[in-house]
């Protein structure tokens, strides 16, 4: 029972956005960017046991010009921050960033002058993956969620309107410094 039984006339209708989203999510190429212990788990994700090729991520690209996903795995030092930004700027668009591990997401246990307290201070992050270090299964789950986000992404003018709407929502959000804990 294949698709030909479901479509007896042999015609399949879709939108350009739907087709482009499907193609983008199915050909995701990550840049090689491991900074600390989380990189070991990222390498395990590319190994045969977890097999990133199942998700259209055949090989980790050595050049940022060939990649569209930057997985920042591990803590980012202030010395390394300009390099992270340079690699991000060299990536072709559309480009996505996944902050892997608590150190990349928020600085982790390293609350000092040498470590950037979250890679989102350097590059815009599309997906945060918590854990110290996160397991390869968690990385697979985050990438599948990113696939879903990419597949339903708008194109052209619709995308610009979506970005403006997201920025309005972000500006109207309560700052974390003004948030209060649960009162019981």
Residues that constitute the known binding site for [4Fe-4S] cluster: 37-38, 103, 132
H-helix or E-strand spanning residue 140? helix 136-151
- Name the binding residues: 37-38, 103, 132
Strands (E), the chain: 30-31, 69-73, 96-100, 127-129
In angstroms, the first-to-last Cα distance of the chain is: 56
H-helix or E-strand spanning residue 70? strand 69-73
Contact between 119 and 125 (Cβ < 8 Å): yes
Cα–Cα distance measured from residue 105 to residue 97, given in angstroms and rounded to the nearest whole number: 11
Cα–Cα distance measured from residue 76 to residue 81, given in angstroms and rounded to the nearest whole number: 6
């Amino acid at each position: 029972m294949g698709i030909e039984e479901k479509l007896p006339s042999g015609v399949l209708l879709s939108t350009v956005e739907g087709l482009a989203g499907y193609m983008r999510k199915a050909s995701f190429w990550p840049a090689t960017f491991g900074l600390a212990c989380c990189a070991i788990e990222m390498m395990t994700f590319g190994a045969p046991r977890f097999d990133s090729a199942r998700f259209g991520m055949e090989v980790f690209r050595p050049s940022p010009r060939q990649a569209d996903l930057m997985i920042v795995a591990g803590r980012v030092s202030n010395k390394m921050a300009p390099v992270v930004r340079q690699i991000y700027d060299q990536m072709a668009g559309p480009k996505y960033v996944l902050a892997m591990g608590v150190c990349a997401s928020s600085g982790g246990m390293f609350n000092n002058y040498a470590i950037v307290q979250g890679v989102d201070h350097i590059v815009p992050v599309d997906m945060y993956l918590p854990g110290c270090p996160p397991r390869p299964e968690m990385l697979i789950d985050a990438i599948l969620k990113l696939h879903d986000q990419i597949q339903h992404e708008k194109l052209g003018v619709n995308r610009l309107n979506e970005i403006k709407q997201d920025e309005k929502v972000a500006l109207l959000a309560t700052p974390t410094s003004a948030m209060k804990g649960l009162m019981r």
